[in-house]
A = this chain, B = another copy of it.
Amino acid sequence: MSKYKPLNSLEVPRFAEIKTFMRLPYIKTVEDIDYAIIGIPFDTASSYRTGSRFGPSAVREISSLIKPYNIVQDINVSECLSGIDYGDIPVVPGDIDETYKRIEKGLDPILEAGAIPICIGGDHSITLGELRSIKKKHGPVALVQFDSHFDTVDSYFGNRYNHGTVFKRALEEGLIDVGRSIQVGMRGSLYSIDDLNNSIDMGFKVITTQEMSKMGLKEVAKQIVERVGDGKAFLSFDIDFVDPAYAPGTGTIEVGGFTSFEVLEILRELKNINFVGYDLVEIIPAFDSTQITASLGSNIIFEFISIIALKKKGVRANEV
Q: What is A's interface to B at a CB cutoff of 8 Å?
A: 9-20, 26, 39, 41, 43-51, 53-54, 56-57, 60-62, 65-72, 74, 76, 85, 87-96, 98, 156-159, 161-162, 187-193, 195-196, 208-210, 213, 243-246, 248-249, 252-253, 255-257, 259-261, 263-264, 286-292, 295-296, 299, 302
Contact = CB atoms under 8 A, between A and B. Distances in A.
A16 B246 contact: no
A18 B87 contact: yes
B249 A257 contact: no
A192 B210 CA distance: 38
A12 to B, nearest CB: 4
Looking at chain A's contact residues, is the secondary structure mostly helix, strand, loop, or mixed? loop
Contact of A68 (B76, B191, B213, B287): B191
A44 B44 contact: yes
A134 B40 CA distance: 38
Contacts of A261: 209, 213, 243, 255-257
A13 B69 contact: no
A287 B296 contact: no
A18 to B, nearest CB: 5
B260 A60 contact: no
A299 to B, nearest CB: 5
B256 A243 contact: no
A68 B189 contact: yes
A102 B159 CA distance: 14
Given A12-B90, A15-B53, A245 B47 contact: no
Nearest 3 A/B pairs, CB to CB: A248-B290, A255-B260, A67-B189
Contacts of A162: 94
B299 A255 contact: yes
B157 A69 contact: no
Nearest to A163: B94
Given A9-B191, A18-B26, A60-B18, A71 B208 contact: yes
Contacts of A65: 48, 189, 252-253
Nearest to A45: B94
